[in-house]
Structure formats: C-alpha cells, structure tokens
Structure 1
Amino acid sequence: MTGAAQGAGPLAGLRVLDLSRLLPGPFCSLLLADLGAEVLKVEDTGMGDYVRWSPPYVEGVEESARSALFLALNRNKRSIRVDLKSEAGREVLLRLVRDSDVLLESFRPGVLDRLGVGYDRLRQENPALVYCAISGYGQDGPYRDRAGHDMNYLGLNGLLALTGEAGGPPVQASAQIADVGGGALMAAVGILAALRERERSGEGQAVDISMTDGALSWLAMVAAQQLNDPAGAPLRRGRLPLSGGLLCYRPYACADGWVTLGALEPKFWQAWCRGVGREDLIERQFEGPGSDAHAEVERIFAARTRAEWEAFAAAHDCCLEPLLELEEALDSELVRAREMVVALDQPGAAEPVRLLGLPIKLSRTPGDPARAPGPALGGDTDAVLATAGYSESEIAALKESGAVAGPAAGRQGSFLG
C-alpha cells in the first residue's frame, strides 16, 4: 500500500483496511489517515461508500469523488473495489490482510463471518491483525442484530431523554454523538490501545465498539449520580446542573441573538453580577430556570446586543461568549488560528475544497489533513493489487470475473434514493 495517501506523520507505516462506510468508521479512519496511516477503503463493486453520492457536490471532480460530505471523511485515503461475495474477491481481501495492521468494519455483527472472512479466519492469515468492529449495540447482547442510527442509540442509553428544557420535548443534537463520539473516537482509542499491546505480545486482537456503549460513557458523571443517589430520585432533562438546571450555566437570548454564560465557579458568577451592577444576585447563583432570579438574569441579557456582551466579557472574566451560527464559527478568528478549516486540492476542481482540519495537535510530528485528495471509487484497484503481488493478467482476470472493479464509470446511485 504505497502512493499518494502514504503518510509521514506519527502513524506513518501503519496499514489500515477500512471496510466501513457512511460516518462512524470513515471518521475513525480519517483520524488515522490524517495522522499518517495508510488507509485503503475496501469498497464493493456497486455504489461503494454510499456517502459518495450525497450532495452538495464539488464541480469538476470525478463523479464518484464529488460529494463534499464524502471528501470531508475520506481525504488521505485510497480506494479498491472488491466483491466479498465472490471467492476470488475474498481471496483478495485475505491477501491484503497479510500485510495490514488494522481492519476496520461497521457491518452488522456476523456479516463477515457469514462471508467466510470474519475475525477468526482473518487472524489465520495474520495473527498480528487488530480487527475493529463498530456496531450499534455490540458484538453480543440482546440487541446485536438490530438496525439503528444515532438517534436510536441515544434514545436507548438515556442521553436523548436528558437533552432539552424541562417540560419540553427531547432535543436532537446537531452532531452525531453516538456515531462520532461513541463509535469513531472509541474505535480510534481501541485500535491504538490494541496496537500498543501488540508491541508487547506480538499478537493482534478484536476490538468491539458499540456506539450505544460509547455514547453512554459520555454520561459518566450523570450516571454516577443516578446510580449512587440514596434516594434514587430520577434525573430529568432541564434539571441537571450542566444541561439547563442552573441559571449561572445556560444560553441566554440577548437583543439580537444569543450568548452563553458558563459562570459555574463562584468567582466567575460574582464577576458577572458585579459587572452588571447586581450584587444582590450573587447568592442566587444555583437557582434554577423559572425562578425570580432567572427571570431577572434573562431581562438583563435581553437589554444588550451580542456585541455589547462581547465587550462586557472582554472586561469581565466570567466565562461569557457569543453563541455563533455555524457560518460565523467557521469564519471566526479562533477557528482560523487553530487551523480548523483547511483547503484541500482535489483534481479537476477549480478551487480547493474547504474542509474541517485535524483537532489533534502534535508538536513534533503533526498530522496533515490536506496531504492527499479523496479517492475516486476504485481508483487504486490496479495499483493495490499489483503491490499485493497480482500480475497484470491476474488483475485482468479478477476484473473479468467481477471479483474486483476499477474506477467507477458514471453515477452509481443515490445515497438517499
């Protein structure tokens, strides 16, 4: 696995086969790729990763790599198309596994076993392989075979029930908490932990990541409170201290928008109260929404514009910040300074594609989120097979049989169709 997507970062030389699609797996392998790993997307001989066909599109780019959503998750990777339902296609995967460090997949539990290329078979080819499976509910348990999406996982682990205002409906987050936080990030940690252990033992292992489990772990402090409350009082949305239950830690409407007040520590709340000339509110810091004090704080915030509150925050250290719309955040001084928006050259595009950068900042061996473009579907099939030891005639025979496929010709389908 050599070529444009080979990295020079801290994970340079790490070889990853990514059989996943859509969001959780590709976000995990994106982090690895940005940090220098050689990530090869193993896609089917039809549509490949479904997100390839999701708008908005980048004009001028090969059709199977035009989706901005696809590019956001799949830069710095390569692509090969393999039919794992065929014996010859499975043999291709087995040969690739022999020289790989990690295999990442996000099928329902048991799918690869039924195809004959599950973990037990793969480790016969490579005992050092780290095999990571991301699923909704884990590789065992009563829900292992159920389909689901982010909202389902959050609904089952209690997180969604706790999000929103008291007395109001549950509120869906704008980011996919279970997919990314519970799945992709936990998978990346699990993979790196297994690789670290492999340095001692020389053996790989299976990493079982449940998105429901992973997102539940985000409730570590809240769950500890619920599990250890002698009274057993149930926790409800809008009443938790850090999600709406305290007037000192809430978003507030101002004259022309919204601001966020995070004055949790007494010194910050005192600074805010003194700054607005309301020292009488200091002792009422931990009252909740609906109280007279809360109504007073709402009235105070509503009397000034967002810009005026920004000026106030600059003069009074009280954890007060504007609530930015997404377009404002992406163009903010903070995001620019932290290099959290990067420009990626994509062959055929008139202008660079702008995507989010890498949030992991290393001082000596930094990652590179703009090292290589997102791959066309099957664009690296021939090169990968040649590197794996297949001759030109063997590659041609594999293509003829349908076990593998080269670059896609034209639109393959629609993500939502």
Structure 2
Amino acid sequence: MQLDGVRILDLTRLLPGPYATQLLADSGAEVIKVEDTGAGDYARHGQPRSERDVGAIFEMVNRGKKSVSLDLKSDEGTEAFYRLVESADVVFEQFRPGVVDRLGIDYETLRSYNEELIYCSLTGYGQDGPWADRAGHDLNYVGLAGLLDMTRESPEDKPQMPGYPIGDMGGGLFSAFAITEALLSRELGNTGGEYIDVAMSDVVASFSQSVTYQALTGDPAEPRPGQTALSGTFPWYDSYETADGEWVTLAALEPKFWRAFCEAVDKEHLIDAHEDHDPETFAAVAEELEALFAERTREEWEDALGDVDAAFGGVYSPAEMVEHPQLNARDLVERPDDAPPRIGFPARSSETPAETNEDLPAQGEHTESLLSAVGYSDGELEELREADAIR
C-alpha cells in the first residue's frame, strides 16, 4: 500500500473528504489541500481544540498533507489551479452539485489540462436525482439509507442517532477506495482519466445488505427494527447490563458459540432454545440472561468469558477504546513523540510505509513552493499576492 508518486489535489473540507485523503496520505500519496484565501477548511477553527490549537477534527484527518491557498473565484487563482492540475493524478471535491461548474473547475474543463486526470466528487445525495441539490448532514443520509430506522428496539421507539457519523466516514472510505481503484485501472491500461460520483447516502444504503433482500423482493417479513437477526430478535445476539451499570455484548449466532456460552455459565438447559423460534421462548431466554449478567461486573464477565469461544465482549467508551490492549497491540492508536495521538491507518501490510508524516499544514503554507514548482516566477507570485489570489 505505497502510493508514493501519486499527487492529489484535495478541495474537500470538514470530515468526509479529509478522512478519505488522510487514508491516502497515510499510504504515501502527496495530498495537497486546496483552501480558499479566507477561513480555509472550516475544521481548522472548530471545537474542541487540539494540543496544537487547531480544531481536533482537523488535527485527526489532515496530517502529512500540504496546503495551498487560492481564490478560485478570481481568474488568477483559477489559472494557478489549472497549472497544478497539469501535474496531478487526482482532483477530489466535496462541493454541492453545480459549484465546480460555476468556478470553472469541473471535470470536463480540467480534463482539457490533463486528460489522464481522475476526478472524484463526494456529496450527500450524488450528482443527480430529485435530492441532488438538497442540503444535508450525516443524520439525513443515514435516515434516507434505512439505517436510522433500524437503530430502535421496536417500530414504536424513537430512532437512535449513531454515535459516529456513519455516512461521513463511509463516504470518505468509499471515495478513497474508488480513487485507488481508478488509479489502478489507469495504470493497468484499462482506462485513462475518469469521473467518479460518490454519494454518502448511497454508501450507507450499500451497507444494508443483511436486511434489504426482503424489502427488494416484497417479502412480507419486511425487516423492521428489533425484529431481525441482527437488530434484537435473538436474545443470544444482544447487549446486556452488568452489575456495575456497564454493558456487555453476546453475539452467539452460531449454535457452537451458544453451546459454549451456556456451558460456561451453567445454563445448559438453554442450549436447545437456540433452535426454537417461538417469540415466547425468546422473551424467556432474554429475561434469564438479563438476570444472569446483572450478577457480575463487566470486568468480572470479561474474566469469566473472555477465553470462552462464545462471541462475547464488553461495550467500551471511546476513552476506554483508545486504551484497550487489543487496539494497542495492533498499534492502531498512534502516539508520536512530536504530535498529539491519533487513530492510524486501519490495516496492516508488509508494504505499509514505515513512518507517517504527522505535520499539520498551516493554511497556504506550501502555496509559493508548489506554484514555483509548476513554473511561477517570484515576480508572478508577487502579482498573485497583490491581487489577493493566493495566501
């Protein structure tokens, strides 16, 4: 996973797009943030603040990148962007549909400067369809995609907001995948440049494979919250409160896991219930499990069941997660000496770059050096500064 030599012009801001390009930067790509000459990426100014006094979200998803600051509403700034495009592999944007056309940086325009260019657009609802121009955030995307409906215990309960922005992160992850796929396709000689349209709501809808077959086929057993194998029907696939007010998870979907669990907690009489799909049986088993787990603390249950082949685990807060020995053994939580800690690249490879760049770019920090590299003289740079086309 070494993308050395790949240059990405990143017009995105806040979380979804920057998460995508952080994954690519961690894999060795040169990511150049293209920020405006005003506030730049809004995430720079958000709360809470990091140890380096920038927005914490900005800190987490912009390390090892470069920054140029251009006024793309000016002819001079747009011309400078075109010069950068000539040597780029990828342009990645996250504006609402139509904005890049008004700025003159749409795919059809840019391909005249670089016919091998890969251009990715990430939006909430995509470039077409009746909702394409609608404003939205993560909650709207997961609402459209069916996820929010399935977060409640029953159809009568209020939907529960996911603790993480699933649409944002899923959209960013899929954008990184699509860009990498397009780069590979180009290198294989199968395609040249191409345009990629990623919608965050589409990505979350793609996550619904386990529940949408019935909906697609008109099966009367339409998936409803609390009534599917993975949303509360089975007492052996659920979370339970422990004696200390914490929670644990049991995911013994397979009979072998359920048997191992029942034997470990002296509940052998419940083993055959795994084959009984009577709702009254489910309710009786759930009641017995609730009483059982309430007898010990989460830590005590972890000690008792951690080594049992029963698909058991604890429910941990983010603060507990980043200190958990499992994730630390995987080196997922990176704690560099010269930068605040962060969650690192979530895969391991024999070809992963040995070190990652933890520097954060100041807004426009690399404007002059990058424009000089594409042919701008000192005099031309001074003219751009006087015209407020760069920062």
Whether TM exceeds 0.5 here: the answer is: yes
Aligned counterpart, 2:300: 308
Alignment partners' CA distance in 1, 2:248 and 2:70: 50
- Corresponding position: 1:240 with 2:228: yes
Specify the SS of the correspondent of 2:69: strand
Aligned counterpart, 1:404: 390
With over 3 angstroms needed to count, the CA separation of the structure-2 counterparts of 1:252 and 1:117, relative to structure 1, is same
With over 3 angstroms needed to count, the CA separation of the structure-2 counterparts of 1:225 and 1:209, relative to structure 1, is same
Alignment partners' CA distance in 2, 1:120 and 1:345: 45
User: What displacement does 1:202 show?
Assistant: 5.5
With over 3 angstroms needed to count, the CA separation of the structure-2 counterparts of 1:245 and 1:367, relative to structure 1, is farther
Alignment partners' CA distance in 2, 1:55 and 1:368: 31
Aligned counterpart, 1:4: none
Give every structure 1 segment of 4 or more consecutive aligned residues whose post-TM-superposition deviation is greater than 4 Å: 286-290
With over 3 angstroms needed to count, the CA separation of the structure-2 counterparts of 1:369 and 1:170, relative to structure 1, is farther
Alignment partners' CA distance in 2, 1:271 and 1:39: 49
Match of 1:178 among 142, 167, 184: 167
- Corresponding position: 1:377 with 2:363: yes
User: What displacement does 1:209 show?
Assistant: 0.1
Structure 1: 5+ residue stretches without partners: 1-8, 347-351, 406-417
CA contact (8 A) 2:67 2:362 kept: yes
Identity %: 43
Structure 2: 5+ residue stretches without partners: none
User: What displacement does 1:368 show?
Assistant: 5.5
CA contact (8 A) 1:361 1:367 kept: no
CA contact (8 A) 1:287 1:294 kept: no
Q: CA offsets, 1:154-194, max 9 Å, x none?
A: 1112111111211321011111111111x111111111111
Match of 2:192 among 189, 197, 203: 203
Specify the SS of the correspondent of 1:215: helix
What is the aligned-residue RMSD (CA, Å)? 1.6
User: What displacement does 1:369 show?
Assistant: 6.6
User: What displacement does 1:205 show?
Assistant: 0.4
User: What displacement does 1:68 show?
Assistant: 2.4
Specify the SS of the correspondent of 1:252: strand
User: What displacement does 1:315 show?
Assistant: 4.4
Aligned counterpart, 1:275: 264
User: What displacement does 1:321 show?
Assistant: 1.1
Match of 2:35 among 37, 43, 46: 43
CA contact (8 A) 2:43 2:58 kept: yes
Match of 2:84 among 83, 90, 96: 96
Alignment partners' CA distance in 1, 2:254 and 2:278: 14
Which deviates further from its counterpart, 321-330 or 16-25? 321-330
Alignment partners' CA distance in 2, 1:226 and 1:367: 44
Match of 1:220 among 209, 212, 215: 209
CA contact (8 A) 2:121 2:198 kept: yes
CA contact (8 A) 2:240 2:247 kept: yes
Specify the SS of the correspondent of 1:291: helix
With over 3 angstroms needed to count, the CA separation of the structure-2 counterparts of 1:103 and 1:287, relative to structure 1, is farther
Q: Write the mapping of 1:1-400 to structure 2, written as runs, cut at 5 A.
A: 10-59=2-51, 61=52, 66-166=54-154, 167-181=156-170, 183-199=171-187, 200-201=189-190, 203-230=192-219, 232-256=220-244, 257-285=246-274, 291-344=283-336, 352-363=339-350, 365-367=351-353, 370-400=356-386
Alignment partners' CA distance in 2, 1:209 and 1:277: 51
Q: CA offsets, 1:106-144, max 9 Å, x none?
A: 000111111112110000000100000001111111111
Specify the SS of the correspondent of 1:152: helix
CA contact (8 A) 2:14 2:57 kept: no
Q: CA offsets, 1:15-54, max 9 Å, x none?
A: 0000000111100000000000000000000110000001
CA contact (8 A) 1:260 1:321 kept: yes
With over 3 angstroms needed to count, the CA separation of the structure-2 counterparts of 1:345 and 1:107, relative to structure 1, is farther
CA contact (8 A) 1:34 1:368 kept: no
Q: CA offsets, 1:182-218, max 9 Å, x none?
A: x111111111111122121461100000101011000
Alignment partners' CA distance in 2, 1:10 and 1:88: 34
Amino acid at match of 1:134: L
With over 3 angstroms needed to count, the CA separation of the structure-2 counterparts of 1:202 and 1:213, relative to structure 1, is closer
Specify the SS of the correspondent of 2:57: helix
Alignment partners' CA distance in 2, 1:68 and 1:241: 37
Number of equivalences: 385
With over 3 angstroms needed to count, the CA separation of the structure-2 counterparts of 1:288 and 1:16, relative to structure 1, is farther
User: What displacement does 1:288 show?
Assistant: 5.8
Q: CA offsets, 1:279-317, max 9 Å, x none?
A: 111122356697122101111111111122112213422
Aligned counterpart, 1:5: none
CA contact (8 A) 2:212 2:223 kept: no
Alignment partners' CA distance in 2, 1:107 and 1:136: 10
Amino acid at match of 1:392: D
Alignment partners' CA distance in 1, 2:261 and 2:191: 57
CA contact (8 A) 2:214 2:221 kept: no
Alignment partners' CA distance in 1, 2:84 and 2:41: 19
Alignment partners' CA distance in 1, 2:41 and 2:90: 19
Specify the SS of the correspondent of 1:207: strand
Alignment partners' CA distance in 2, 1:69 and 1:276: 43
Which deviates further from its counterpart, 262-271 or 162-171? 162-171
